[in-house]
Amino acid sequence: MPHRQKKKLRARQKRHEGQGEGQGVEGAQAAAAAAAEASPGSPRAGAAQQPQGAPAPGSPGSPGSPGAGAASPPREQGAEGPAAPPAPGARKDPLRRKADMLVRFLLERHASKEPITRAALLKIVSRKYEAHWAEILRRTSERLQLLFGLELREGDAGGRAYELVSKPGLEGDGGDKGPPKSGLVMALLGVIFMKGNRASEEEVWEFLNVLGVYAGRRHPIFGEPRKFITQDLVRQKYLEYRHVPGSKPQRYEFLWGPRARAHTSKMEVLQVLAKINDTVPSCFPQLYQEALLEEAARESSTDAATEASAGEAAGGPSGAGEPSRARVGPGRPI
């Protein structure tokens, strides 16, 4: 790697680490471990039963069908692979569990348009964790906003009631108006990134199940989840959903679509995953390094394009020092 690019990479790494200084690292591996559980190389994957969100037996990508264990194509170089087990207690964090319970409850109330009262939320939190109410509510609010594009607001001056307000989300293709989707899309892109820039259908559903999103169970925000990720996001070019070469019977995998590659980056996706886990991107060291390398490559490409444009402006379209082309006919270069 050229010295100039190495210098830029070190400076960028210090900048990212500085932005995350002072934040806790509690549960840093939670999302990575959840996404890795379904990995063919994971010990849990071999012993676990079929995930609730996995395809039904006999359908494309069904883990219960013959050949479901067929090996996927090799991961791209630099992929993190199965994550290390989380720190003791990270996945059993009671405050995280209570926040997840509140998220599910609030989504159900939002869908049914029933009132949301502080008393009902405190009942779910229980008296045992009432002292941690502010932290649980903060985590709940952040997850609602990141994943579902919903903002939790106080419905009255006394804070006795709450309401969920939709925020602008991912645009539909051709001006479609639908529910906010950007946070979940970023999380899906993060799973694909964690799994070596391609993730099997089983791995994706394992992650979605952790978030309370199941195939065949209508979600109050996303509707039918299987249609949403295998059709809607594919049509909008945020995801690619394709057959795994050589798998018999057929199995499927997800990759970033062209629209995702054009409008986001690995660092942005990693930042979303870090926020979901109350940590910082550098707590995923291999993914963080890969994201930094991508940023450096993009910056170098931009610099090269800028220098080329400046050279053309100074020396004409043919470039400085290049002899002018002979022209034939009405101004046509050959």
Question: 236-240 long-range contacts, Cβ below 8 Å, gap at least 24?
Answer: 236/170, 236/172, 236/173, 236/176, 237/173, 238/170, 238/185, 238/189, 239/188
H-state helical runs in 113-254 = 118-125, 133-148, 182-194, 201-210, 225-227, 233-235
Whether the predicted pLDDT of 51 surpasses 50: no
> Hey, what amino acid is at 285?
P
Q: Which of 69-83, 164-178, 189-203 ranks highest by mean pLDDT?
A: 189-203
Asked whether 272 and 183 are in contact (CB, 8 A), the reply is yes
Quick one: tokens of 160?
């006795």
Whether the predicted pLDDT of 267 surpasses 60: yes
The rounded distance, in Å, linking the Cα atoms of 167 and 180 is 7
Query: How sure is the predictor about 302, in pLDDT bands with cuts at 50, 70 and 90?
Result: confident
Whether the predicted pLDDT of 275 surpasses 90: no
DSSP labels, 88-120:
TTSTT-HHHHHHHHHHHHHHHHHHHT--EEHHH
Q: How many helices (H) and strands (E) does the chain have?
A: 13, 8
The rounded distance, in Å, linking the Cα atoms of 29 and 93 is 12
Which whole-number Å values give the CA distances from 305 to 20, 114, 309, 313, 317, in the listed order? 31, 55, 6, 12, 14
Asked whether 65 and 57 are in contact (CB, 8 A), the reply is yes
For the full predicted model, state whether its pTM sits above 0.85.
no
Asked whether 124 and 137 are in contact (CB, 8 A), the reply is no
Asked whether 185 and 247 are in contact (CB, 8 A), the reply is no
The DSSP letter of residue 129 is: G
Whether the predicted pLDDT of 223 surpasses 50: yes
Burial of 235 (0-12, 13-18, 19+ CB in 10 A): middle
Between 189 and 83, where is the model more confident?
Answer: 189
**CA dihedral in degrees (245, 248, 251, 256; nearest 10)?**
0
Amino acid 55: pLDDT = 45
Whether the predicted pLDDT of 176 surpasses 80: no
Distance in Å from the first CA to the final CA of the chain: 38
